[in-house]
Amino acid sequence: MKRVGNVRGGFTLVELLVVIAIIGILVGLLLPAVQAAREAARRMQCSNNLKQQGLALHNFHDAYKRFPPGILGPVAYPPANAAGNHQFIGTLFFLLPYMEQTNVYNNVAAALNVDVNRHPLTTDTTGNPTPPIQSYWSNAAAWAACQVKIPGYVCPSADPFNNTNTFVYTYTNGLTLTGGYFASARPEMGRTNYAPSCGGIGEAHTNPTGWGRYSGLFWPRSKKRFSDCVDGTSNTMAFGEVLGDRIAQGPMLYAFTWMGMGGHPSAWGLPNPLNRPGWYQYGSMHPGQIMVALADGSVRGVNGTVDSIMFRRSTGAVDGEIHNTYEE
């Protein structure tokens, strides 16, 4: 009797190539969907970060009956005090007690003589604050505190820790836009992707019918209240996304530190594309939108193609021109 051995079937080369091609097509179709789902999750987390900042702003107002200052820095009028007599700590610092960072806040407040009820401190006969005060990077306790990395101040779609240099402070006072930076990585510093809004370019004391009409809520040593949102809290931006600064067509080189993040302007509109801003613009890694928190605590998106004048009007608190550019 003749034995017949077991015959094992197999794939031909053509069949194998067809299977590989099908798998490649399926992966190619699935990958964008996976990336879109991940970005949707990151955008939701970014929205939650802004929501927490909006709630912290409301809690601060409940406690002090006003908003925190844009930054403890020089004002335009009356004439600014000596540059060395400012702490240069910004709005995000004052929200810390309401974002489960009370210890960080207390350490800095004690070290830099911060009194949220008096800005600036009492002055001597020359107009300088007394006692003499330090910038946060010149004080050991405050410098240690600024190195705390606060997840709620970082957008998950962006990575400000990849940037080469760090702005230690930025602010606008209605006349000038100013930023100081460390020309080195300073990877130890806590950074941020969110900035308080100063409106057009802050409080323009010299020309209230010009840039002054587009003033927002946060500028050097400001003391705004809900009642100052003449356009309505649901039409006034409180916080928005920022990325930093780039040089020409190169990578993003500068990031912002949360400790010194002062009021940010809308005067220069939104960049095109949104992920290539100058340091004086808002910016975002979310496709087609930046996320913002309004003064009423809600979070909205702003389309990257919005007209620059319309955007400026929507960031002002008192211009009387209700141009709501915000999307759900």
Task: Let me know if 269 is exposed, middle or buried by CB neighbors in 10 A (0-12, 13-18, 19+).
Answer: middle
Per-residue confidence (pLDDT) for residue 181, from 0 to 100:
81
For the chain, the domains span: 14-327
Contact 98, 116 (CB under 8 A): no
Per-residue confidence (pLDDT) for residue 82, from 0 to 100:
47
Which residues face 289 on adjacent strands? 303
Helices (H), the chain: 13-64, 91-94, 102-111, 140-145, 308-315
Per-residue confidence (pLDDT) for residue 164, from 0 to 100:
74
- Residue among 91, 99, 97 nearest 242 (CA): 91
CA distance linking residue 295 with residue 313, whole number of Å: 15
List the structure tokens of 200.
């057009």
Q: Which residues, in sequence order, are CB contacts of 152 under 8 Å at separation 6+?
A: 49, 52, 53, 99
One-letter amino acid identity for 167? Answer: F
Per-residue confidence (pLDDT) for residue 35, from 0 to 100:
63
CA distance linking residue 290 with residue 305, whole number of Å: 11
CA distance linking residue 50 with residue 182, whole number of Å: 27
Per-residue confidence (pLDDT) for residue 154, from 0 to 100:
93
In a structure prediction context, what are the per-residue pLDDT tens digits for the chain, which is 328 residues long?
555 555 555 667 777 777 787 887 777 776 666 666 677 788 889 999 999 999 999 999 999 999 999 998 887 765 544 455 788 999 999 999 999 999 999 888 888 878 766 544 455 555 555 556 788 888 899 999 999 999 999 999 888 888 778 888 998 877 788 888 876 767 888 999 999 999 888 876 555 556 777 888 998 888 899 988 888 888 889 999 999 887 666 666 788 999 999 999 998 999 988 888 889 999 999 988 899 999 999 999 898 888 888 888 888 887 777 655 655 5
CA distance linking residue 161 with residue 188, whole number of Å: 9
Contact 326, 294 (CB under 8 A): yes
Per-residue confidence (pLDDT) for residue 315, from 0 to 100:
86
* Distance in Å from the first CA to the final CA of the chain: 81
Per-residue confidence (pLDDT) for residue 61, from 0 to 100:
94
CA atoms within 13 A on the CB side of 193: 30
Containing 231, the helix (H) or strand (E) segment is: none
Which residues face 302 on adjacent strands? 290, 326
CA distance linking residue 277 with residue 318, whole number of Å: 26
